Amino acid sequence: MSARSSLPRSVAAHGILILYTLIALFPVFVIVVNSFKSRRAIFNEPLALPTRETFDLIGFQTVLSQGDFFQYFLNSMTVTVFSLFFVLLFGAMAAFALSEYRFRGNTLTGLYLALGIMIPIRLGTVAILQLMVATGLVNTLTALVLVYTAQGLPLAIFILSEFMRGVSDDLKNAGRIDGLSEYRIFFRLVLPLVRPAMATVAVFTMIPIWNDLWFPLILAPSEATKTITLGSQVFIGQFVTNWNAVLAALSLAIVPVLVLYLIFSRQLIRGITAGAVK
């Protein structure tokens, strides 16, 4: 064991990881730092920290006076959480059926469900919008949840069924011998075992939903249903030359995702490690 944690090796590992961490965080640093500076300071010294002379909150004042960012944030949260829940639940169920049972049409169903990852759902926009108009769902968050659930399912099923094939048969058969129903085997035995995969899928599903601009723009552009990404995009358009406001809006868009991610990240890692330790 001592051979593996030898000093030079661990220094090298830390060196590489620190370097990459810097590369990953640098742009975020640039945005957040500059959002607190006056306009001229942004252009003159983009890398300097705000000082007493250059500190300026004008960008945030502009942004916050113009829109209800808290409401936008709540909308984004609602849409993301509900979509995530349905994608994970429906996705895991379908993945289980595909990976666990041999039945006629299994491969075909699998392929059918995988078609969705090969073609951008954006292309179906007009038909989707017509559907939402017909069902009266335009300008509701439900419309977004439905679209994102459909959009997230193919990839979730694809990844989850891959992982579920790796779950030990002995365990499931032991459960069956104990008289557990198929539903219990799924919910009690299999789901806990694929938690790492679920956590991974959750993160992948969450990102495009949170960051999507297109469907909020088309399906729910009203003030009451605007998401935070759409809200900040409107600002970027509106203040394209007012970099104080743009940077402040971007900072406001980054911070909530960051917090959300930091919370989820714990779960994610706990999920991954819990799955790995048996």
Q: Which of residues 213-232 bind another protein (CB under 8 A)?
A: 213, 217-218, 221-222, 229, 232
Mark 112-127 as b/e (b = at least 16 C-beta within 10 Å). Answer: ebeebeeeebeeeeee
The only residue of 37, 172, 242, 245 in contact with another protein, by rule CB under 8 A: 242
Residues 56-75 that bind another protein (CB under 8 A): 66
- Does 177 help bind another protein (rule: CB under 8 A)? no
Residue at 230: amino acid letter: L
**Contact call for residue 250 and another protein (CB under 8 A):** yes
CB within 8 A of 84, min separation 6: which ones?
152, 202, 205, 206, 209
The yes or no reply on residue 20 touching another protein (CB under 8 A) is yes
From the CB of 224, what's the least distance to another protein, in Å?
12
Residue 47 binds another protein, judged by CB under 8 A? yes
Q: Is 126 in the site for another protein (CB under 8 A)?
A: yes
Is residue 241 at the binding interface for another protein, with CB under 8 A as the rule?
yes
Residue number, 21 or 51, with CB nearest to another protein: 21
Which parts of 141-242 fold into alpha helices (H)? 141-164, 169-177, 182-184, 191-193, 195-211, 214-219, 228-238
Separation in Å, CA 35 to CA 72, 251, 258? 20, 7, 16
Residue 54 touches another protein, criterion: CB under 8 A? no
Is residue 43 packed enough to be buried (19+ CB in 10 Å), middle (13-18) or exposed (0-12)? Answer: exposed
Instruction: Say whether residue 99 binds another protein (CB under 8 A).
Output: no
Among 150, 173, 187, 245, binds another protein (CB under 8 A): 150
Nearer to another protein, 57 or 182 (CB): 182
Q: Which residues contact 48 (CB under 8 A, 6 or more apart)?
A: 33, 37, 41, 54
Q: How far is the CB of 55 from another protein (least distance, A)?
A: 18
Least spacing, CB of residue 210 vs another protein, in Å: 7
Rg (CA), the chain: 23
